[in-house]
Chain A
Amino acid sequence: MEEALLRAVLFGTPILLATLGALLAERSGVVQLGVEGMMALSALAAFAAALAFGPSMGILAGVLVGAFLGLFHGIFTVTLRANQFVAGLALSALGLGASGLLGKRYEGLPLPAPLPEGGFALLAFLLAFLLHAFLFYTRTGLYLRSVGENPKAADLFGVSVDGVRYLALGMGGGLIGLSGAYLSLAYRPAWTDGMTAGLGWVAVALVILAAWRPLRALFGAYFFGLLFFLQFRLQGSVPIPSEAFAAMPYLLVILVLALSGRAQAPKALGLPFERGR
């Protein structure tokens, strides 16, 4: 049982970090579907930097690349007002493709000093509370949420809608980058093409499941981690075929999504903002 809880937290951690990152962006009204690709590229950056300059530089590189990709998403969604869904999907495909291409020479290399997972797990746990406090108890957090709910009103109050959205995308990108760094430096201290293996998409779904609330994301990520571990822990000891176990976490996500009904998404989510319209 202790083992299961430990795995729930350790496997839930990368999902949690990515979910928090996407959640932050979406609270400001920008749909963030680029998570998978952003995770993949920052995982690669973290791995490469850790090999060259040591683990702490690895973390830094992962976070910076994530933040950069978040801002890059902003160029299309905030400044150019492109369709946010399309831009996100493109970012995902771009990140996955680019990481595969650039990562070729890092494949099959061991990481001499893998980082402990516990540190990341603790940090992610604290970040969930910090983000909650930031969103609901600070002025900047209020601005951020109001930009996501009603950008026109926020604009009238003198809040820079574009600025806030860039801020949210950059910070969120940093969190997603941290998640990528966790994957390649601690959870699986190696780099392989496609190593994110769909975790980014789980995070995207979890944002909705968590109704855009950091603390619910915390719960959801650990819950997913627990289910994921249990499918292997229970396989063979209960008379359920392994294929059914493999589908379980996803079925549960769908079930919870269906039951949660219309979660209160930020009202301006997905709508590009243009002053005077």
Chain B
Amino acid sequence: MKRWIFLLALALGLALGQEAKLKACFIYVGPIGDAGWTYAHDVGRKKAEAALPWLETKYVESVPEAQVVPVIDRLVREGCRVVFATSFGYMDGVLEAARKYPDVIFAHATGIKRAPNVATYMADFYQVYYLNGLAAGALTKTGKVGYVAAFPIPEVKRHINAFALGVRAVNPKAQVLVRWINAWYDPAKAREATEALLAQGADVFAFTEDTPTVIQTAARKGAYSFGHYTPMLKFAPDHVVSGQIVHWDVIYIDFLKKVREGVYTPKNLEGVDYFWLLQHKAVEMGADYGVPINPKHVPLLKAASMTVGGKKVAVYDRIMALLKDMSSPKPTFDPFTGPIRDRKGVVRVPAGRKATLEELLTLEWAAPGVVGDWPGEPK
């Protein structure tokens, strides 16, 4: 009898011990190893697990967007209390599952629909793109900056526009030539799109695609480029100037801590939307971690100048000053501060105010200087 009680207590203890850990599960749209989107999320997951001793994580990779619900079913059965779905296309599936499992907390990356138990989150690059645009504007000799773009959706358009606004702030006559490849991952298309832009005279490149193809292609012709998503300096040490780097772990750790502390419950997430920027350290400007600008190109950017408020300043100093400002707890500068007109001359952000989050998330217009096809451009 005593032994029975002992065993029961042991089992209960183990169960409680299990219970003490928070189980968070991640659903990835691609394979982890692609050095791009999914890879970065997985780095975030690992860092969160290392930082939070009470956290247990699990992930499922390469989940097709239409099959997210059965995967969630399985994860919930396995005891996941928090589910992170990391692709825009999971949106409707997540909302369906959220109705089915009202006690589970869901967080959907890049999503725009929420529910009492569904939050949304995004580490956004638009500020970093503006800063990189300043550098690109200073570095172009032909006045043509190339952009190899994935899909024509608001997120990518917002980034191209921020980049173009930066380019034009330094070089008011410069053009940003955009080519759409209609894919997140397609090195062959990225390669040939870059070649096409090189043939048209572009000499500085930025892009949205999950491989360093654009960088490698540009470097062969001696053109500068900006890395995307993860540090890409090593692929062209002489030609990568800077780039956009993500830190999803910052969001994951904050979110999970708040779940653990009871701040976030399955009842109060309707208003929770992380749109984290430089000030939250969710993104970084850099050719590599901790290297905002490749030291090889610093002299060039110091020699180039631009006019700010009627005064001449070195582009390098301007970039560093804005980077510091936007990384501070209370930034005073925002790239999308009016007056901003689109390339057709329509006022998109009136003078004296900042674009709202809503405006940024649904942005469809093209900034002045952007040249090329722009699907969905407002009339």
Contacts and interface: CB of A to CB of B under 8 A. Distances in A.
Contacts of A236: 177-179, 371-373
Nearest to B177: A236
A11 B34 contact: no
Contacts of B18: none
Contacts of B140: none
B199 A3 contact: yes
B156 interface: no
Nearest to B185: A194
A242 B372 CA distance: 10
A200 to B, nearest CB: 12
A232 interface: yes
A239 B192 CA distance: 20
A100 interface: yes
Interface string B339-379: 00000000000000000000000000000000111010000
B162 to A, nearest CB: 20
Given A197-B187, A246-B182, A188 B213 contact: yes
Contact of A193 (B34, B152, B216, B234): B34
A108 B375 contact: no
B280 interface: no
B216 A188 contact: yes
A242 B33 contact: no
Residue among B180, B193, B234, B372 having the largest count of chain A Cβ atoms under 10 Å: B180
Q: What's the dominant secondary structure at chain B's contact region?
A: mixed
Contacts of A232: 179, 181, 189, 192-193, 195-197
A255 B373 CA distance: 26
A250 B213 CA distance: 23
Nearest to A10: B195
A197 B188 contact: yes
A230 B185 CA distance: 20
Interface residues of A, number: 32
Contact of B35 (A3, A4, A107, A229): A107
A158 interface: no
Contact of B192 (A11, A110, A194): A11
Given A195-B187, A233-B196, A104 B373 contact: no
A192 interface: yes
B195 A3 contact: yes
Interface in B189-211: 189, 191-193, 195-197, 199-200, 210-211
B351 to A, nearest CB: 30
Interface in A209-231: 228-229, 231
B195 A235 contact: no
A176 interface: no
A231 B195 CA distance: 11
A194 B197 CA distance: 25
A192 B35 CA distance: 8
Contact of B187 (A188, A241, A242): A188
A223 B188 CA distance: 16
Contacts of B193: 232
Contacts of B188: 11, 188, 197, 199, 228
Given A192-B187, A235-B373, A236-B371, A7 B34 contact: no
A193 B33 contact: yes
Nearest to A117: B220
Interface in A234-259: 235-236, 241-243, 246
A100 B62 CA distance: 12
B196 A229 contact: yes
A182 interface: no
A229 B192 CA distance: 6
A13 to B, nearest CB: 12
Interface string B150-189: 0010000000000000000000000001111110011111
Given A11-B188, A104-B33, A229-B196, A190 B216 contact: yes
A143 interface: no
B230 interface: yes
B212 interface: yes
Contact of B191 (A107, A188, A233): A188
Interface in B296-311: none
Nearest to A108: B35
Contacts of B182: 242-243, 246
B235 interface: yes
A233 B372 CA distance: 11
B31 interface: yes
Most buried by B among A4, A189, A190: A190
Nearest to A236: B372
Interface string A191-208: 011110101000000000
27 contacts: A7-B192, A11-B188, A100-B33, A103-B33, A104-B33, A108-B230, A110-B212, A110-B234, A188-B211, A190-B213, A192-B33, A192-B34, A192-B35, A192-B211, A193-B34, A195-B187, A197-B187, A228-B189, A229-B196, A232-B189, A232-B192, A236-B178, A236-B372, A241-B375, A242-B182, A243-B182, A246-B189
- By Cβ-Cβ distance, the 3 closest A-B pairs, closest first, are A236-B372, A232-B196, A3-B199
Given A7-B196, A110-B234, 4 more contacts: A107-B33, A188-B188, A192-B34, A231-B192
